[in-house]
């Protein structure tokens, strides 16, 4: 049975996705309320899992989802900053 390997572009998109996920988690460290932080963590994980389970290997579709995720990260950063200041 032949194993299926990622192309270089797929590898780079996967790396970018993981970096974005880590950035979301870093922002969560600034949320003081542990219960709310947990809810946000579940929401973020669910969103990434749903996007990943769509099985979309179209690079453009993945790039669009990454763009939307970057916008969501920016909004989350702003919200957390306003809530903590």
Cβ–Cβ under 8 Å, residues 77 and 20: no
Q: What are the residue boundaries of the structural domains of the chain, listed by start? A: 10-84
For 65, the 3-state DSSP assignment is helix
Question: What pLDDT does residue 18 have?
Answer: 95
Dihedral sign for Cα 59, 41, 68, 30, please: negative
Classify residue 2 by its DSSP letter. P
Neighbours of 61 (CB within 10 A): 12
pLDDT digits (tens, 9 = 90+) for 11-51: 999 999 999 999 999 999 999 999 999 999 999 999 999 88
67 pLDDT higher than 70: yes
Question: What pLDDT does residue 6 have?
Answer: 83
Q: What angle do CA 49, 54, 56 make, to 5 degrees?
A: 120
């Amino acid at each position: 049975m032949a194993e299926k390997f990622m192309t270089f572009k797929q590898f780079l998109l996967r790396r970018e996705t993981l970096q974005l996920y880590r950035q979301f988690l870093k922002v969560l460290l600034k949320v003081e309320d542990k219960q709310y932080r947990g809810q946000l963590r579940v929401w973020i994980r669910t969103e990434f899992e749903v996007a990943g389970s769509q099985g979309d290997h179209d690079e453009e579709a993945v790039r669009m989802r990454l763009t939307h995720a970057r916008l969501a990260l920016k909004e989350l950063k702003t919200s957390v900053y306003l809530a903590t200041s």
